[in-house]
Structure 1
């Protein structure tokens, strides 16, 4: 296989004594062929292509595609969509520049005994120490090191009260009218 492809690519490379580059053999007049060779040819023989040159130019097909293993953005979830955990501490974090606010977050010990910092979305919350919460992946861009979010309306963490839009993201029931 390899040798047959190498031989086929060697046939594509011009040899010494061929017609000048860019000129077909039938176009060259016999009078020009009888004259001594001038500037059209180099007197040194043309080097053969190396195997690496053939491989790079695509004359010989080599499968060069290598897929990189994707690094998980939420390694502490161990491939699970969510994990439950117990709140160790509720804290208020300051976002990085240029934002200014007080972001609510919690240190959570997951069911696999890993401790993570999880953001608590929405206005107000009832999370306190020893509350059981469900943690999902998803970083908060302006809080360094926070790669997880608590799921509102699940376990001990209540949904956001009086929420009208995007209720499913904040665990709010449909209001009865």
Structure 2
């Protein structure tokens, strides 16, 4: 947990640095000016990388020794701080340690909360220092969407296989990643 927390700070600081860089390119599409931003390009490419690893059959065969858990913590924490996608790396390492299903879930939840608590102050300072005022409507809609997604997932999860869930989530993440990379999102 400690390597993940420390690396999450570094990832969040990197995100803050990337967010202040100028656009790499600008173009027009259907009357709208779009910009390819370094931060969105970076996060979009990371998402594509995570999806490729998650859907790769070769990835399922990887095995990690418990001695590598601190490395996994650093990797997952950094990418968690940078893009919020630490779960892919954390799961990759934890799944290979022989934890029971209950231990895996409990460990993953605790580590996710700790990493999130580590990166939120960094995001908050960066946002409130240079960002626009908080759009409470957007926050409420995002929270309701997250709740609705969790509620729906709890109902559908019993009917889906892990593989079909991976493909659905992977496909949606690919769409988001391409939107970010191209400046559409």
TM-score (normalised: structure 2): 0.19
Higher strand share: 1
Higher relative contact order (CA 8 A, sep 6+): 2
Considering only CA atoms, is the larger Rg found in Structure 1 or Structure 2?
1
Greater helix fraction, Structure 1 or Structure 2: 2
